[in-house]
Amino acid sequence: MRKAIKSLVFLLALVPAAWLVYLLLTNGLGVNPAETLQLETGIWALRFLLGGLAITPLRRLTGWNRLVQYRRMIGLFAFFYAFLHFLSYLVLDQYFAFGQMMTDVVKRPFITMGFIAFVLMIPLALTSTKGWIRRLGRRWQTVHRLVYLVAITAAIHYVWKVKVPFGAPLYYAAAVALLLGFRIVRYYSSSKSMPTQPVKA
């Protein structure tokens, strides 16, 4: 049953990519297919990123610890869609002009934030295997705390891209703030509840 559910989650996570391919082949991406692909893949990357961050709060609130077994898969799909987002920008927007791309990264703040988010996701994706978890030991959790910075920069990237103070970008930014805020509150709550060691004379 566990394998069946994992397979179902895997297939469902591929549905947005399959749908975008279908729209591309049937000319259903609108008047600007490149922009639509960039926007949709970026939004799905952010959605999967939020889904991965939501695992811990949901597990704590519901007591359903099995949720944690889907976190790595969801995180890898976040990277998958982020890679498609970056690739569509590099190929369809910059036409593999790496010099122009780096100029964009330096001069356009919203692209700077998006590029930082994508680069930070690379070590997270590379170290998501069981082998790397064993090699890094306790350091693995330290490395994967980079996901918090990824979420912040990705949300800023989306807000600055759309340039509106309301609507979808604000909702995603609020979701990031809520999920990270849950961790901050829990961290300080657990710190205060820890017993203090008596001072020896």
Whether 56 and 99 have beta carbons less than 8 Å apart is answered as no
C-alpha to C-alpha distance for 75 and 72, rounded to whole angstroms:
5
- Residue 186 is predicted with a pLDDT of 82
Ordered alpha helix ranges (H), 63-167: 71-88, 98-107, 109-126, 130-136, 139-144, 146-162
Distances (CA, A) of 105 to 35, 109, 114, 115, 140: 17, 7, 9, 7, 29
Domain boundaries, the chain: 2-182
CA–centroid distance for 200 within its chain: 47
Residue 99 region by backbone torsions, left for phi larger than 0, else alpha for psi between -120 and 50, else beta: alpha
- Residue 194 is predicted with a pLDDT of 55
| H-run or E-run covering 60 | helix 33-62
With tokens 């036409």, the residue in question is: 95
How many CB atoms lie under 10 A from the CB of residue 177?
13
For 12-70, write each residue's pLDDT tens digit: 999 999 999 999 999 999 899 999 999 999 999 999 999 999 998 998 888 888 888 88
| Sign, Cα dihedral of 146, 147, 152, 153 | positive
| H-run or E-run covering 15 | helix 2-25
| H-run or E-run covering 169 | helix 168-193
For 75-119, write each residue's pLDDT tens digit: 999 999 999 999 999 998 888 899 999 999 999 999 999 999 999
- Residue 3 is predicted with a pLDDT of 82
| Sign, Cα dihedral of 153, 155, 157, 160 | negative
For 130-161, write each residue's pLDDT tens digit: 888 888 888 888 888 999 999 999 999 999 99
